[in-house]
Structure 1
Amino acid sequence: MIPVQGVENQTIAVLGLGRSGRATAAALAAGGAHVVAWDDGADTREQAEQQGLRILDLTRDAHWEGISALITSPGIPHLYPKPHPVIAKAYELGIPVDNDIGLFFRSFATRDWESYDTTPRVIAITGSNGKSTTTALIHHILREAGRPTQIGGNIGTGVLSLDPAHDGEVVVLELSSYQTDLARALTPDIAVFTNLSPDHLDRHGGPGGYFAAKRRLFAEGGPDRAVIGVDEIEGRYLADQLAMAPSDDRVIRISSGLKLERFGWSVFARKGYLAEYRKGRQVAAIDLRDIKGLPGEHNHQNACAAYAATRALGLAPREIERAFHSFEGLPHRSQTVAEIGGVAWVNDSKATNADAAAKALTAFRNIRWIAGGLGKEGGIAALQPHLGHVTKAYLIGHSARDFALEIGQTPYEIAETMEQAVAHAAAEAQPGDTVLLAPAAASFDQYPNFEKRGEHFIALVRALQG
């Protein structure tokens, strides 16, 4: 646990008592704060009270007396589509609102660091797609190189549940737009922006607000190095805003497709090869084509981001390349589940929007595509240019019929459920085919989350093996 600094003897309110909320309350108490808490769920409040938390109904004006700050969980709206009533009340009263990410960055450094030989560092990764894989890959590279490291944030451990940093340790954090949007402190040593595609637009009031939430990671704290994916205009804009000139090597531009030779520092992948350029000259290259844990152009972009971040820490190219080969990937992200009778079964349940699904669809050939669920704004019509390798689509869930209207001439069937889709794909697949679950939709019509959807797919595939 990381005790929160600067809160001793203050009364701090915590809104939301899920995993991050409970961890935040404990970290505040460890820092000497008097913690009061509220959650909209009666059962959650009762459980928290049984665990010793003081529950205070923050919907009532009288209970705000003496409260010096409100710490809210990331999933609770603080601006769009409208603020939660408790957060709105804090604004009205002028009570500062923060989240656990802000508390982490203001509490991470301690006096113990004065005795360390190597100052601990923080790498923070944000973006629309690929941030979990990039975060896990950076953590993996550091471990393989023998560097002390922890991983947390939006993946794995909540930030305040991490251990205080050891000498020379690198903490790798995945940060969502929900987390970066509100944090009052954002000071990573290295910040990574993978890419941007439309997502969470209702929560951010549109694409501009969504990008602004991501941009805060770079604008608020001024990282020593910024690794920026420039395959979209937003990334090119961000890199331009941060760099003083094309030669400014504090900004490392990355791409999966663009040839970036004219900048002070760049890393890009083309035709399966990663190249690092410094001051217009190539200094390293890696063949990514046979790295099983990183299939497809989207994972090559993730590899570029992880390579750039760890190179910025001083790791050698060959150290990074060795770690690439031992990386097994993350569950539900282009995860090869099995090969049965010459047919590969791949679980990319995390592909919850069209952009993520497009990346998965370009990574394989002879695809039998399982897609559908609760479709997102904009649908999947944009996927038509990426369906050339799809032999047949098996459409499931709430938006199956809507998706059927948006995939052009691609053969399809309305399978309705995952069971039917897997059974029919198994019956029709030929050796050399890939059965790919890349839903391009949320899971909430049939599953509580994308993980459960992926786990169901895996269980059905395992059953085919007997």
Structure 2
Amino acid sequence: MIPVTGVEGRSIAVLGLGRSGISAARAIRAGGGTPVCWDDGAEGRARAEGEGFETTDLTRSGAFEGVAELIVSPGIPHLYPRPHPVVAAALAASVPVDNDIGLFFRSVGVEGLPKVVAVTGSNGKSTTSALIAHILQEAGRPVQLAGNIGRGVLDIDLPGEGDVVVLELSSYQTELARALTPDVAVFTNLSPDHLDRHGGMGGYYAAKRRLFSEGGPDRAVIGVDEIEGQFLAGQMSEGAGDDRVIRVSVERRLPGPGWSVVARKGHLAEWRKGRQVGSIDLRAVKGLPGSHNHQNGCAAYAAARALGLSPKVIEAAFHSFGGLPHRSELVAERNGVRFVNDSKATNVDAAAKALQAFERIRWIVGGLGKEGGVAALEPYLGSVTKAYLIGHSAREFAVQLTSIPVEICEDMATAVDRAAAEAEPGETVLLAPAAASFDQYPDFEKRGEDFKRLVTELP
């Protein structure tokens, strides 16, 4: 645990008592503060009370008298589409609002001197973060992985000098954190997502950008295959040759004298001052299938190089990386048919990348659709033999998918049975929903686990 600094003798309100909220309350108490906890759900309040924390209804009048600040869990709106009533009350009372990420950065800066690598972006954050941590571990560097993946950021062991902390950070976390000081910051890519929480695409980009503009990292690894990444790289650099910015692309060779890592046709190449200084054949790396994973590999490679690791050490670690669950995860191969779980493909951009990674696809798609549905996937359907539609948006998606055969299956069990029955040797049954899971599952992990269970139970 990392005790929070600067809270001794102060009352700190904590809103939301899930993983990050409870860990924040523990860390505040360890730092000598008094957590005042609240959750809209009785289960969360009971969990906190079971650990001896005081719970107080923060929606009541006068609840913020004597409270120094409010710590908010990432799932709770603090600005758009409208602030949670407790957040609104704190702002009205001039009480600062922060989150566990802000507490981490302000506390680690005092208590230890680790290197911190922070990864954000729309897609690929988890794989990139896990791969960076894996590379460091294989290289013998003390490393901990936390944030939006694995452990809560304040639950990790207090790092010391020479240690590395790798953080996956969502836009919810980067937007609110009052302290952001990573040594290496990584921006994978940007595509429309969570727009209701950020008031549109501009607000979403601004939330990601804070990690760089507020954080002032020593090195910035930035994917430049979208205009937002190109703009961010331009803002962070003093010129074309400024090697504090490492540009990443899987679409083209990047010109100029700067530092870049690119992947084309499965080959990663590192360029510095106009010369190639490292390369890896990514086609042989089983844990990174498809161009989207090649982008993740490039970003992780760049971050590891920024920390001083050699190309040979990084390449060896790539080959021992097994990938993450629910992200292009090969579940089984039966009678020449592969079953792949990409439940994490919760938006159109992620689904497009999954559809480009495989040939002859039986596609399981659907759930709680996002704005625009799946119409934007039309250019990526060339490898799809048939789509099997599930969930709340099944009929809406069926109307949009006019160029391929579709079947409305409603639920996962029916979709898996139908796809498996019709699949021929050499085909891939791919779960890439292009939608949220909340209509039928609590999260994308549970959706992916259901898919995997059903595949293992096939006759």
| TM-score bucket of the superposed structures, by smaller chain | over 0.9
Whether the 8 Å CA contact 1:127–1:214 is kept in 2: the answer is yes
CA distance in 2, matches of 1:233, 1:151: 29
In structure 1, the partner of 2:86 is: 86
The letter for the 2-side match of 1:183 is A
Match of 1:423 among 411, 417, 420: 417
TM-score by length of 2: 0.98
* Count, aligned residues: 459
CA distance in 2, matches of 1:102, 1:62: 25
- Kept in 2: contact 1:257–1:270 (CA 8 A): yes
Partner of 1:236: 230
1:318 matched to 2:326? The reply is: no
State the match for 2:254 in structure 1: 260
Whole-Å separation in 2 of the counterparts to 1:265 and 1:449: 38
Q: 1:363 aligns with which of 357, 361, 372?
A: 357
1:343 alignment partner AA: V
State whether residues 4 and 27 of structure 2, in contact with CA within 8 Å, keep that contact through their aligned partners in structure 1.
yes
- What is the distance in 2 between the residues matched to 1:397 and 1:339? 25
Which shows bigger deviation, 102-111 or 353-362? 102-111
**Residues 261 and 277 of structure 1 are in contact (CA less than 8 Å); yes or no, is this contact kept in structure 2?**
no
Post-superposition shift, 1:445?
1.3
**CA offset digits 1:155-181 (Å, max 9, x no partner):** 000000011013411100000000011
What secondary structure, in the 3-state scheme, does the structure 1 residue paired with 2:35 have?
A: strand
Map 1:93-172 → 2, pairs under 5 A:
93-110=93-110, 113=112, 119-172=113-166
| Aligned mate of 2:326, from 322, 332, 339 | 332
Distance in 2 of aligned mates of 1:73 and 1:211: 20
Query: Contact between 2:16 and 2:44, CA under 8 Å: does it hold in 1?
Result: no
Determine if contact 1:261/1:281 at 8 Å carries over to the other structure: no
AA aligned opposite 1:339:
E
Aligned equivalents of 1:332, 1:129: Cα separation in 2: 13
For residue 64 of structure 1, report the CA deviation from its aligned partner.
1.9
Tell me the alpha carbon deviations over residues 247-293 of structure 1, each in whole angstroms, 9 at most, x when there is no partner.
10000000111211314100010011001000111111111112111
The corresponding residue for 1:35 is 35
Task: Check whether the contact 1:76–1:84 (CA below 8 A) recurs between aligned residues.
Answer: yes
SS in 2 for 1:299: helix
Q: Within 1, Cα distance between the matches of 2:174 and 2:257?
A: 28
Equivalent AA in structure 2 for residue 315 of structure 1: L
Equivalent residue runs for 1:39-438 within 5 Å: 39-110=39-110, 113=112, 119-438=113-432
Q: Which runs of 4+ in 1 moved over 4 A?
A: none
> Aligned equivalents of 1:425 and 1:298: distance in 2?
25
Q: How high is the TM-score relative to the length of structure 1?
A: 0.97
**Identity within the alignment, %:** 70
Which residue in 2 is equivalent to 1:116?
A: none
CA distance in 2, matches of 1:462, 1:43: 33
Q: Is the 8 A contact 1:102 1:183 kept in 2?
A: yes
C-alpha distance in 2, partners of 1:43/1:436? Answer: 36
1:60 is displaced (CA, Å) by: 2.1
CA distance in 2, matches of 1:395, 1:152: 34
1:24 paired to 2:24? yes
Deviation at 1:68, TM superposition (A): 1.0
Q: Secondary structure at the match of 2:70?
A: strand
Paired residue for 2:440?
446
